[in-house]
Structure 1
């Protein structure tokens, strides 16, 4: 744009200087030459002053290139965001292999393994199973809070198994599984602190959010979930939905969301914003015939589970419905692993929760634009 203006100025100067000289060479009279020079100068002056109101040649020359460049940059940014969201949506596309390895006294034992497909769209996301060094690097110096019921406790155990050696895990397992109690551990060699908070009801989670806000203490990673205890002991899906609405409000007030995240999700026209990667731990697939008490079999059937899932979606606490929390879809994982991955129809083998932790870790990598 600047270069075009300079060229136009040089051209005008040349016309003003050389045209009258050329005319003088043709022996025009002095008065005619002066008249023509004056007229030409005035015309050029008027043209220069009016030129901002008309598209210049330089505009036509530069517009396609700059437009193409701008369009390419914009497309790259959109593609990057779309790829990130697309990969997040594919994280749960996990395949389980459950193979019989031995039979003792009529009982068959199975070896469970899992992984992401190596073909198709999932393979393009390059999801990774992280070993101890990579997990330690990713969570170095982090404060991790896991809150909820026994499912959350199993998730905490799976996470610790990735950063602690087997000897230390033996001692952790007994302390972590003390009934209905909190647990805290500091992994000093990587500076990671993990808090497990026993919070089986959504109201307990709301209290935890309020406490964090009052203390101005915000974890780097938060995983929480509830529903099973409410289904068993309260058995009222509508009441569960109300408690989730309150919880969503407390989570939203905890995070630096305003004004980008309103009650009904992202505000149209607001600045691009992605909330921190806090996670909601979904409920597992319940296999009614395997549940170990009559009360559980009566209250925790498919109809109750579906009603509770509807309330979860309608609460809009999940990122996929405009809320602040990314879903760790334990139901999807347990369904894929199947009946051979559980002994009581509710709590599943370590492979399921190990997969859930790797989904979480890969989501952290995607959200932070990192690649190990």
Structure 2
């Protein structure tokens, strides 16, 4: 079989996922038949409002929350911005200090940087070589001026799962609110906001087979937070703008499907991931697995290949029909190495040679076979022409 005959192998599910047919079917009536504005009072609009409230209940059930604690917005980035800027605005008389980690998504880091320009102080916690935050470091960083701790549930690049419940306990022991960016975790990590001590949680529909441009922020009842988007009185006066009814309905159905059997889903996906990791490390010398070896997302395999550039790996894989990433999708066009990999202590030159493969529901063992047949050859070719490869160094020979 020629490479051109190989169907595309999509292994970039951390960037985005396809929309499941069941989700599209749930959304369809709200594009046409039930197109009423859910904020209107007449009967025609009530069908739209019913769809929104059903989705709210679906999201709440997936998080162990109450429906009135769920607020819809346009995606994970908006939810992160709302959580961080909203708490900062509401609590500025109490304090001006935020604790976060060095490996957060830019949707958390950039709002924190914006607040620093307004006079707030931010502590960016280090991580260990696996990308994990030490809850003890969180406790040491908290001061009497701390108003928020924000640590992601699972990292989007290296897949490391954080000790969220322990961090939540530390924050609450000091009377500090705890926010977690769970964009990568929903559908892969069981979440209960009460058990995990979470006060605010961000999620995004397109990461778990829902529509793009949809998201939600969980806000624990009683949490003081200012609005981010001002205008009308939608979302019980918390988030202005006419509701994206089809998108919200789709998000609700998607999260219901994604959380129906997390254990079974993880078991199937992790088996392919583990085989991928095992054979790449075995077949390709001078290769490192990034992230925690066991406390990681079931679909994530992130490697660093010495002597090669990640962008070149992507281009050659794409020529073979394989879709992957060198890091987070939002920064994959950047020539700068991943801030996440650098934070784990990876040398600058090795961070440049990273590859993220993230599996999804449609991937099969045949896909893994194909990637394993192509990737060693791709790395071997690149190392043969790389000026970084040492003379006589151990490299994978191309066929």
TM-score by length of structure 2 reads 0.26
Structure showing the higher helix proportion among its residues: 1
TM-score by length of structure 1 reads 0.28
